[in-house]
Amino acid sequence: MTTSPEPSQRAISDQRIVAFRATVLERGGELYRDLPWRRTRDPYEIWISEVMLQQTQTTRVDGRWQRWLERFPTIGALAASSPADVLEEWQGLGYNRRALALLRAAREVAEAGGAMPEGERELTALPGIGPATAAGIRAFAFDLHSVYLETNVRTVFLHELFPGEEGVSDRTIAPLVGLTCPADASDPDDDPRTWYYALLDYGAYLKRTVPNPSRRSSSHVRQSRFEGSHRQKRAALLRVLLAHGSSGADIATVCEELGKKEAGAGRSPLGEKDVRSLLDELSAEGFCRQERGVWVV
């Protein structure tokens, strides 16, 4: 195995780039997945799908995405919703802070007139929208050139252009992602939207059929165990509060119900001091608040 050089040292011939693009478009066409969020160009709907798909399996998002849009069909509807409603709908889709970021961003967009911006700078200025999410919105909603570097895309570049190399950095891959993305939508068979769908579908296939090339990326991090972790206890505590709705729950009730959840999983219940510490932590991050002796979301 070799270690990848930095971008300044890396030169890939035009001929190899042309061959790479042809391979991706061919394989992507063969492996195309007719996913529901690919049937829309609505930037709000695509934004929601992009956030849901972060570290969440496609099969889990299919169904939850539709349900979200039934409950919050527009940016305005989301912006007018309460944190409790948004967090309740988000349960089972990963980090709860992403749901609050969606709500904050929707409110900012609504206050600015309700239209999702197209520019990368304007998109990444919104809460919770990083470069990859912004690139996905630009490519899939607006068919604009973008550098969309996520796990399946990274997998294809590592497999095809960096075979056998270890420690390949995103700084090495990102310029190639930008180079290979079509400049515009002038060719309906090879526009940014079509190109990235091909990369995503080919990458998903590679991850099922070959040893995961993403492990050769310098940015690859093995996800820590969730069960029993601090993150798991925060999520369980938030679900306890959501179950009580606007009436809230006092500290004794919270301790009792969280304790039952922990005991049911074969873990020791948390003491009141630890529960209060978690509540204070969640409160400081905007997930809950204390009112008249009870805790509410």
Q: Which residues are catalytic?
A: 50
CA–CA separation, 22 and 40 (whole Å)? 26
Output the six-digit token pair for 47: 């934004």
CA–CA separation, 288 and 87 (whole Å)? 11
SS3 2: strand
Determine how many CB atoms are found less than 10 A away from the CB of residue 167. Answer: 15
* 238 close to 282: Cβ distance less than 8 angstroms: yes
Output the six-digit token pair for 237: 């505590």
| Nearest CA-CA partner of 94 in 247, 262, 238, 277 | 238
Q: Which residue has the tokens 């969020």?
A: 37
> 266 φ, ψ to 5°?
80, 20
Distance of CA 25 to the CA centre of its chain: 24
Output the six-digit token pair for 281: 């932590």
CA–CA separation, 297 and 87 (whole Å)? 9
> 236 φ, ψ to 5°?
-65, -40
Half-sphere exposure of 74 (CA within 13 A, CB side): 7
Half-sphere exposure of 191 (CA within 13 A, CB side): 14
> 146 φ, ψ to 5°?
-160, 165
